[in-house]
Chains A and B, each alone.
Chain A
């Protein structure tokens, strides 16, 4: 257990509405990541953070923004949700530069109607 929680765990929303997903970690890890999981694609990186206020885009960042104002929280925002953003979203942490692996939160299932 890497001390990662995600909220909400499930959400149903309508097209065009903004949505924010929260990832919270308790161990002050520097690196945090947001992935989405879709059938036939495995997991794909949306955005990641390498420190407070330091973020960068991943391979599927269009339509998403992130913020990290505190070490423990990494927020993912869908500015105007679309049906193509229906997915399972995973947050991950990497304990530090000496670690190569990432550890995942429990996931958030988002449905956009």
Chain B
């Protein structure tokens, strides 16, 4: 079974600085997808960024980028120029590329709470 580990329960960053959130995962599959979701105090789960395992290029979405290390099974999220609105829980998630029933689920880590100070 796949597992996702986020070893940092909480991280702090100052506005305009850069912060990196860590995520590692365990899988025996070679084709899969990885995601970062943001959950602000409103509780809404918001997709931040996605990465396909077959792509070597790291995904980027504006101030958010990932460092995807497939051999190390590592998928960290870098937030540049941090803003107060970035304060939230961040969840790393894995999904198998297989479409069979039983492989549809997202496997989540336990989350990292990001605090942003002025």
A residues near B (Cβ < 8 Å) are 31, 33, 35, 40-45, 48, 50, 56, 58-59, 88, 90, 92, 94, 97, 100-104, 106-107
Contacts and interface: CB of A to CB of B under 8 A. Distances in A.
Contacts of A58: 105
B118 interface: no
Contacts of B108: 42-44
B106 interface: yes
B110 A50 contact: no
A63 to B, nearest CB: 18
B75 to A, nearest CB: 14
B30 interface: no
Minimum-distance CB pairs A-B, first 10: A42-B108, A104-B45, A45-B105, A100-B33, A43-B108, A56-B101, A107-B43, A42-B110, A101-B47, A48-B104
Nearest to B46: A104
Interface of B: 4, 33, 35, 37, 42-45, 47, 50, 52, 91, 93, 95, 97, 99, 101-102, 104-106, 108-111
B95 A100 contact: yes
Contacts of A56: 101-102, 104
B50 A48 contact: no
- B interface, by DSSP: helix, strand, loop or mixed? loop
Contact of B105 (A41, A59, A88): A59
Given A42-B109, A43-B91, A97-B99, A50 B44 contact: no
Given A100-B50, A101-B50, A33 B43 contact: no
Contacts of A50: 101, 104
A106 B112 CA distance: 20
Nearest to B99: A97
A107 B91 CA distance: 16
Contacts of B104: 31, 33, 45, 48, 50, 56, 94
Q: Which of B4, B50, B111 has the most CB of A within 10 A?
A: B111
A40 B101 contact: no
